[in-house]
Amino acid sequence: QLAPWAEQERTTCYRVYDQDIPEYAVAVDVYGDSAHVQEYAAPKEIEPERAESRLRDVMAVVPEVLGIPREQVHLKVRERSRGGSQYGRQTASGRHAEGGKLLEVREGVARFFVNLTDYLDTGLFLDHRLTRRMVGELARGRRFLNLFAYTGSATVHAVKGGALATTT
């Protein structure tokens, strides 16, 4: 059902599910011909076995519903982290064995490379899409200073929108 909207928006990356059913605490994002599943840590009152069973259900259904091959569905587990550990390369779980594979996606007039395997975050926060679009629209003929530049994606939209200069 989202395909016509995605085509109209000229985007190949979007969220299809975000904890809509509380028992399934995951977010599911589409990035081109791949999916990115993020499991949020289950509340303490949920038995770990039950949470694991639900996650297995999600991982079985996502490829079928989205028509994406199972090997192109990437799983991440979001847990509370201290310091900057959430920004580091994911290595401990063994789930991210591919290493360094970049996938090109489109968002309106901008193209980005995302990494679905090596880091907790993909490098493109889908919930910031409207803000990036607004930056692109407001940047024409102006200088743009990006102080919130974890990925620099807003700067890309500023440039594509006609900014005279950017600093990130």
Q: pLDDT per position in the chain (168 positions), as tens?
A: 888 999 999 999 999 999 888 788 899 999 999 999 999 887 778 888 988 999 999 999 999 999 999 999 999 987 655 555 455 555 544 444 446 689 999 999 999 999 999 888 888 999 899 999 999 999 999 999 999 888 899 999 999 999 999 999
Predicted TM-score (pTM) of the model is: 0.82
How far apart CA 40 and CA 19 sit, in angstroms, is 9
How far from the centroid of its chain's Cα atoms is residue 61's Cα?
A: 19
Token pair 């200069």: residue: 165
CA 85-37-103 angle, to 5 degrees, is 85
Strands (E), 45-153: 73-78, 102-107, 110-115, 143-145
